[in-house]
Structure 1
Amino acid sequence: MIPYGRQHITQADVDAVVEVLRSDFLTQGPAVPRFEQAVAGHCGAAHAVAVNSATSALHIACLALDLGPGDLLWTSPVTFVASANCGLYCGADVDFVDIDPRTYNLSAGALAQKLAAAERAGRLPKIVVPVHLTGQSCDMAAIHELSKRYGFRIIEDASHAVGGRYRGEPVGNCRYSDITVFSFHPVKIITTAEGGMALTQDAALAARMEMLRSHGITRDAAKMTRMDGPWYYEQQLLGFNYRLTDLQAALGLSQMLRLDEYVARRHEIAARYDALLADLPVTTPWQHPDGYSAFHLYVIRVEEGAENERRRRVFEGLRARGIGVNVHYIPVHTQPYYEQLGFVPGDFPVAEDYYAEAISLPMYPAMTEADQDRVVAALGEALGEAGT
């Protein structure tokens, strides 16, 4: 089976983790701040807060921005559920903005229309979470301009996009957002096994997120209400145990040394897919000239027939041939939990049209040309079996 994605672990990665295993600190040691500094430095962000998952990073980002009951968070329907769930964790309400039909990201035009209607209704969002699907940045400059007009805060869900660029600058520099979140899950661009990070230019937001990831506790005497002795600490917020271990940080720090190499390799694979698929009846990914995608995913679209079964037949045909394709993502508003909140099929038609046709082909740095040739051959056969 050729998987749709997989980690790439080198001997240097193994050695980095073993070094920590033999050290005095397995957690809450020096490796985590070094990893944070490496990612922040790469992106041009002033602060980085490492946590145990991107979901945790989204959660503490929302809390740092004071999202709570009565507030509203908007995000894309085409994302992993965490991009929306983070709002529910805070007791806020969640809604969605339909996607752009070419980039598959949250549409800045649809956002503008929805904001105008929300202003008239007196129900504007407190936070908007643009999701950089597949590693391609949303139109952040346009979204940022809307935030200045309508007063919402921005969390970039860049879980797919570490190593990507927007308008010539690294994703994660927070030029157009309050906080940016990365994921280091094994199928992402670099990995810490599980792990995530929140980046910001705002020192106060960073300090708040640092406390929230560690039970809401501070040991900084300057921030305490009293001092009973050198052992003393204070819980000042209701926080969580969202810490990243030094073992994971050591792996991430080692992987950061190859980040640019990994993204460049993904671009080579994507360009080769573009050429190999040119004569097949599929839609290949469109790349906006403002961005340089991290290419976490390579998503094709298979036009549906009248019976709406063609994508499923192609998907099953690929799996039967040992090609581990996947679908990213089932629109969040169609999930049973969200249907219980009042969402119904048809609410976001562009997202639903995308979902009906999308297949993620295998994409990872160690993929060989022979692997890719096998994927394309299998796709051609599966398309032929599915009919036109």
Structure 2
Amino acid sequence: MSNEKEPLASRIRPKNLDEFIGQEHLVGKGSKNKSKGPLRVATEEKHLFSFILWGPPGTGKTTLARIYAKALSADYHELSAVSAGKEDIKKILEGSGNLLGPKILFLDEIHRFNKAQQDYLLPAVESGKLTLIGATTENPSFEVIPALLSRCRVFVLEELRDEEIKGIIARTGYPLTPEALEWLVRMASGDARQAISMIENTASLYKEITLPNLIQTLQSKHLRYDKKGEEHYNTISAFIKSMRASQPDAALYYLARLTEAGEDPKFIARRMVVFASEDVGLAQPTALVVANDVFRAVETIGIPECAINLAHGAVYLSLASKDRRAYEAYLEAVADVKKYGNLPIPLEIRNAPTKLMKDMGYGEGYEKYTKEDFLPEKLKGKKYWKR
């Protein structure tokens, strides 16, 4: 390995798509019966456009952006939305850069940019002065303003499979015992960055990368909570189940665990909005209003004060009466859709915008207020909603 001071992740980072592991649906070479991945086509044929890479941590978003920009001989810049602001973008836009290549900005964690910051990007992206590559772990439909999102394609990255993680681990050049390898793959949970970091940290402390040494390194680095690891899911699960069991004290405790660990407050607020419909439902319809207000408050107030709004919502939802019937009825309906497919819709409730459709019987006999069963013929009499 040429430069031992260079971080391991940087030393083994792929330089082109042929070295890249994973995301075959985006960068696959294609075959007789399968098309090339869209990002491979764009990179090889040098198609210039703005796009957003949406996926879990450690799945290759930064690497793909760099490979794409290099292929286009771009004037390439990287910023993190956590620390960057309008002035940083202004410097990039005003800089002369590489006059021969397009100006590309890779904006990591684009969901951390507020509306005003995203609005500032918009004119440059619209005019083509700047090509934007955004990276996010959050749903861009919620986190990116519609005007900017409409000018970007969205590519969804998947969690890396176990065999892909093993391939990346092999590339590090460090020998691992079989049990250490299997444990590390499980701990990485599809996150290549975490696997590489664990190898690098263990190698800096011990001569061999064995299972006991990996476990000791994990404990010494205090990696007990990470946003894709087991403790993340354990804690959010405990928070939801505490509210479901109408235990405000437990809900507040697990909420504090989440916020103190640095969890994105909007993630917590979104789970509360879902909970309001899934678990409280029609027993207390105002719960959805409260949960939505909490989400808006979190967006407006931000860290750290928005924890007050989260606590308010958590207690309210914990104390609210519970009714899951609407959600459970919906799941039954979904099961029938999957089982039977798209059954024919009764003619009387079909849309009839043209004379031909009316002549075919669309909409005929429809009455606004009727007890007639509007379900497809095969499902007549089926009751999803349990009164």
TM-score by length of 2: 0.29
Greater share of residues in helix: 2
Greater share of residues in strand: 1
TM-score by length of 1: 0.29
Q: Which has the higher contact order (CA 8 A, sep 6+)?
A: 1
